[in-house]
């Protein structure tokens, strides 16, 4: 194995959202370069259940676990060693979220971290900064970043590159 190949690391990130489960598999290079290998998304009805009944139905739990099992086979195929799985508003708000998280671990061996609104804001800001890094100098601007998700709306106000305000609103597209 060459030195360059030895320093590359394959990672997978899974976002368990209110209306979809998304996964990106990437290879990280030694100089922070990212080579995307796979970008998958499957619809799921977590938000419909939780935002109407407060709970995840057994059917939607099975559906979510089936999707995660399929993603796990992709992870295995790429020989990924590092997997980060996060869940946002629908899972966070579900009365039976611990049952879902436990079942995911038992059936896929994946640990799922439920993230709160402020952490969602932080991750979204990192994503926006990365996406705009060669296009807009956020350190010279006043701007508002708004992400309307299925379960929540995240708002970030920047002033000269500094976070002035963040809000997570309990209103999303679902």
pLDDT tens track for 9-45: 999 999 999 999 999 999 998 877 889 999 999 999 9
Residues near 100 by beta carbon (within 8 Å), at least 6 away in sequence: 56, 61, 64, 91, 94
Q: Is the model's pTM score more than 0.75?
A: yes
Per the DSSP assignment, residues forming a β-bridge with 72 are: none
**What would the two tokens of residue 124 be?**
């979204």
> Exposed, middle or buried, 68 (CB in 10 Å: 0-12/13-18/19+)?
buried
Given the structure tokens 């059936």, which residue do they identify? 107
Going by their DSSP bridges, the two strands 82-87 and 9-16 should be labelled as parallel
Query: Do 39 and 14 form a contact (C-beta atoms < 8 A)?
Result: no
* Amino acid 68: pLDDT: 98
Among 57-66, 126-135, 147-156, 157-166, the range of highest mean pLDDT? 57-66
Query: Do 53 and 93 form a contact (C-beta atoms < 8 A)?
Result: no
Mean pLDDT score of the chain: 88
Angle at 67 between CA 66 and CA 72, to 5 degrees: 95
> Exposed, middle or buried, 23 (CB in 10 Å: 0-12/13-18/19+)?
buried
**What would the two tokens of residue 97 be?**
């979220």
């Amino acid at each position: 194995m060459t030195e360059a190949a030895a320093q590359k690391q394959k990672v997978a990130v899974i976002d368990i959202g209110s209306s979809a489960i998304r996964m990106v598999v990437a290879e990280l290079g030694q100089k922070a370069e990212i080579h995307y290998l796979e970008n998958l998304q499957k619809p799921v009805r977590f938000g419909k259940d939780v935002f109407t009944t407060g709970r995840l139905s057994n059917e939607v739990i099975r559906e979510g676990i089936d999707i995660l099992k399929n993603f796990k086979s992709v992870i295995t195929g790429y020989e990924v060693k590092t997997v980060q799985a996060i869940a946002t508003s629908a899972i966070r708000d579900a009365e039976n979220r611990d049952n879902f998280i436990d079942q995911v671990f038992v059936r896929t061996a994946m640990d799922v971290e439920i993230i709160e609104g402020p952490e969602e804001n932080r991750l979204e800001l990192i994503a926006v900064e990365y996406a705009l890094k060669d296009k807009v100098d956020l350190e010279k601007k006043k701007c508002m970043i708004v992400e309307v998700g299925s379960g929540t709306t995240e708002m970030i106000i920047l002033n000269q590159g500094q976070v002035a305000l963040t809000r997570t609103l309990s209103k999303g597209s679902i």
